[in-house]
Structure 1
């Protein structure tokens, strides 16, 4: 058995080869156990305000009752959540799941075009949106199926007078809440109090019910909703829980949640896995404000932290970080993008805690491989497959390859998605009838069952842990009337790992780089925008006229003087 799964011989003590997914019928069953077991423990903290498991239970129950009793929404209806890490997120999230609804996690930085696509594709009937992003929703809401809007301000749950002050400063001093008009919208706090007047219903859920539509470009670029079922999420929560369980103490963990909860890594690894442990999720609303982030870390006795390479690098380069108290820190998990050796080694030196790299995909809820938390130094590997997971390396014609050879990384396990929402054609490309998922990543396995990523999906660009698909960037830029042809590739970037570079053939010779950059700002989320734009007379093409991005990637960089 272990010859087929050599990794099992190298599992740290106490980690089972299999998990029992039948321990919980749904994510809601896990939540209810934690609400009861840890009732008086703090569950989430944000801007100095903490809510206990008991308060979270009550508020999420009221929100669920608002959705079912007041709005008359049904099991399986889709609700979009468009917020950064604020207390309203877990309340709305758990309320929606308890109401049997499907949560559509929505990036608040989306442009109107991106938001409209996601809301329409998901057929979302309701949305909870932070005031800061409501103006974007206003632009497209009439062209979607949204019937119900709940709006909220960052300060709404922080109590008086702090909450009022925070909302005032953000709107009138910092001016980061653009004016919007959504007359049909209900305020979040009003939704909770209206929900309290309705009886709470228990919705029957099982492993096959969809919990999330988690949007991803997949390999083609058009955002598709990965259908993550309650079974998928329970499995991955338990797989991650088994992995960190030996180190973690029930009811004592404090996990720093800086990655947004709408990102699958943070959603599963922080919000759900640590909730099952009775941990406290310390929500960081704006991790880009590094000095502010360090100030928050100073206030918390944190035991665990997850992030992407850019986040760890940013912290290490922020004054005051090295002076923090790391005495309780026993878990640092890096995912979403490759962890760089230099960053991992410096992290260990400063914090005394090994930065363990993990690997996952939206389509796998997300964890596939994690390094043992007992490793003492960075090893360049993505680790060992988590319990109940099979990973194999296949050749292009679908044959298993011998150890050490590079091929496509394939995954099989209870965390693998049901498929893409209403896209059977796309599902069949990545998910075989045998349940094996094609990741599109090129990897190899060593004799001990450790996996190493050799190359990535050929064209995908990974910016600070977020997937950027060249097709989507190119499609957006082609909307500009002055553009004839365009190709997007990834280039190395010291801050974000990779950045987008654009090659453009002009239709209008007077088109400038500044003008095109402004157009990209209007049509693409920040991480998808090109950092460098180069004008060309022509682009390399195959014999059937397909633009060859690989040739552009393989070119020697042009000297600055001649780079249009």
Structure 2
């Protein structure tokens, strides 16, 4: 019924003829019929307001079913969905809007006034609001639209979404994701993780991120399964859902917090068939502890904003703690040395990937695209890895200083820039350190110009200028930073010195 739109056709096919079947439990619930009818109304509204194929629709709202319907409606309209973390400040949003030049910006009504300066700076043509209950000017306008919108034709190579990522040098990059990249990866995961229409996924992830939006949501839609849709991770809600659910996708923080709860037992998880972890490294002790408590082995996988999912531990077969498994079907993964030659087993090298899952390049950044995406399709991930004799891959570090805290990417340079602007700061270095709950924690090591600098001052300026997940969990004021003979700050030495800070 949506056959002319590559991605939406594939996300809808499994539920055609099942209009009255429940797709979403929670937040009022949705049948498949109601979900797609609402998405059609959003698509019709976008077109009526002048959105044309290829236009960007930027969305900074809290998690809701309406936001998920807007994602599908945007793709139906032939536009490009651009989700933004609701924690971003107006100064952060200003950059994204100016870079992506969206036709429409959808924002929570409680933050509309706060974001006005960002909207004005980017000269965004249209602004609508959407709150966490599905209310706002977007919904008010959409309910006047008739159902039955026929999706705008889009081919496999057309853009479906842009998700912003970044390098450690500061400027955020918009990863352009095609219909093919999203559809092919979801199809692969459905088969590899053995999803069926009988599955019920507990969805407690954010939907501005690859994991919650494209992995969780697209997989469930692709196979016509159901999900329990939670506004956020909540222990009580997770335990209430598990007796009738079958799967959970989460970041390591989910599993460490569940392990800390005495309700986690073999009995409480007996209806579940699969627990998946990603977006940050899962400690081997979390993996083994989970198995001891529940009898289930967590399945860890590896993906990126630019590539969707690349590897996964197998559904059937050994799930090795500390590894991210094997390359997914249709995805090539190689580990190479500094000269681009593949290294042997148990040798560390740079990870490169190739496949239909890989992005089309960085928005408006041809030089950066050429630097990281080879003409032959291989993407240089910036991650360092090693492959064992069985082909299982482990991520051992990052060639970039990216920090992944609680599943969210934190780029040290951005945090350092805020801190270094303080008059009493001489210099700073932001590092990620092992943390039992968040996987990695943001830590700031600061050299003061004078004793007037306090930890409270640093915490205040970061809280005022950065999203919460980027703010430091600990601030250390030191006399000097370690340097090499060329004067470069040695962050590796700092990570070694403070490795047990959260132990």
Q: TM-score range by the shorter chain?
A: over 0.9
Residues in 2 aligned to 1:156 and 1:277: alpha-carbon distance in whole angstroms: 26
Which residue of structure 1 lines up, in the alignment, with residue 256 of structure 2? 313
Give the deviation of 1:376 after TM superposition. Answer: 5.8
Determine which of 507, 522, 526 is the counterpart of 2:464. Answer: 522
TM-score by length of 2: 0.93
C-alpha distance after superposition, 1:401-453 (max 9, x if no partner): 22332111111111111111111121122111111111121112223221122
Determine which of 129, 133, 156 is the counterpart of 1:151. Answer: 129
Q: Structure 1 33/370 Cα, relative in aligned 2: closer, same or farther at 3 Å?
A: same
Give the deviation of 1:485 after TM superposition. Answer: 1.4
Which residue of structure 1 lines up, in the alignment, with residue 204 of structure 2? 258
Determine which of 38, 52, 76 is the counterpart of 1:74. Answer: 52
TM-score by length of 1: 0.83
Q: Does 1:30 align with 2:10?
A: yes
Determine which of 256, 270, 278 is the counterpart of 2:224. Answer: 278
Residues in 2 aligned to 1:410 and 1:301: alpha-carbon distance in whole angstroms: 39
Which residue of structure 2 lines up, in the alignment, with residue 104 of structure 1? 82
Give the deviation of 1:139 after TM superposition. Answer: 4.7
Matches within 5 A, 1:200-239: 200-239=149-188
Which residue of structure 2 lines up, in the alignment, with residue 46 of structure 1? 26
C-alpha distance after superposition, 1:245-265 (max 9, x if no partner): 3xx322x11101111121102
Residues in 2 aligned to 1:376 and 1:491: alpha-carbon distance in whole angstroms: 29
Q: Structure 1 393/323 Cα, relative in aligned 2: closer, same or farther at 3 Å?
A: closer
- What SS does the aligned partner of 2:249 have? strand
Which residue of structure 2 lines up, in the alignment, with residue 11 of structure 1? none
Give the deviation of 1:229 after TM superposition. Answer: 0.6
Matches within 5 A, 1:373-412: 373-375=315-317, 378-412=320-354
Determine which of 233, 249, 254 is the counterpart of 2:196. Answer: 249
Whether contact under 8 Å (1:354, 1:378) holds in the other structure is: no
Whether contact under 8 Å (1:124, 1:145) holds in the other structure is: no
Give the deviation of 1:480 after TM superposition. Answer: 2.5
Residues in 2 aligned to 1:370 and 1:460: alpha-carbon distance in whole angstroms: 21
Whether contact under 8 Å (2:313, 2:320) holds in the other structure is: no
Whether contact under 8 Å (1:125, 1:148) holds in the other structure is: yes
Residues in 1 aligned to 2:56 and 2:433: alpha-carbon distance in whole angstroms: 37
Determine which of 372, 385, 409 is the counterpart of 1:430. Answer: 372
Determine which of 298, 323, 328 is the counterpart of 1:355. Answer: 298
C-alpha distance after superposition, 1:497-516 (max 9, x if no partner): 21111122234542211011
More divergent stretch after superposition (75-84 vs 31-40): 31-40
Give the aligned CA root-mean-square deviation in angstroms.
2.4
Residues in 2 aligned to 1:358 and 1:236: alpha-carbon distance in whole angstroms: 13
Residues in 2 aligned to 1:380 and 1:550: alpha-carbon distance in whole angstroms: 21
- What SS does the aligned partner of 2:115 have? helix
Give the deviation of 1:351 after TM superposition. Answer: 3.2
Residues in 2 aligned to 1:338 and 1:437: alpha-carbon distance in whole angstroms: 21
- Segments of 5+ residues of structure 1 without an aligned counterpart are 1-22, 158-185
Which residue of structure 2 lines up, in the alignment, with residue 121 of structure 1? 99
Whether contact under 8 Å (1:355, 1:378) holds in the other structure is: no
Give the deviation of 1:76 after TM superposition. Answer: 0.7
Which residue of structure 2 lines up, in the alignment, with residue 322 of structure 1? 265
Whether contact under 8 Å (1:345, 1:378) holds in the other structure is: no
Q: Structure 1 78/508 Cα, relative in aligned 2: closer, same or farther at 3 Å?
A: farther
Give the deviation of 1:334 after TM superposition. Answer: 0.6
Which residue of structure 2 lines up, in the alignment, with residue 496 of structure 1? 438
Which residue of structure 1 lines up, in the alignment, with residue 239 of structure 2? 294
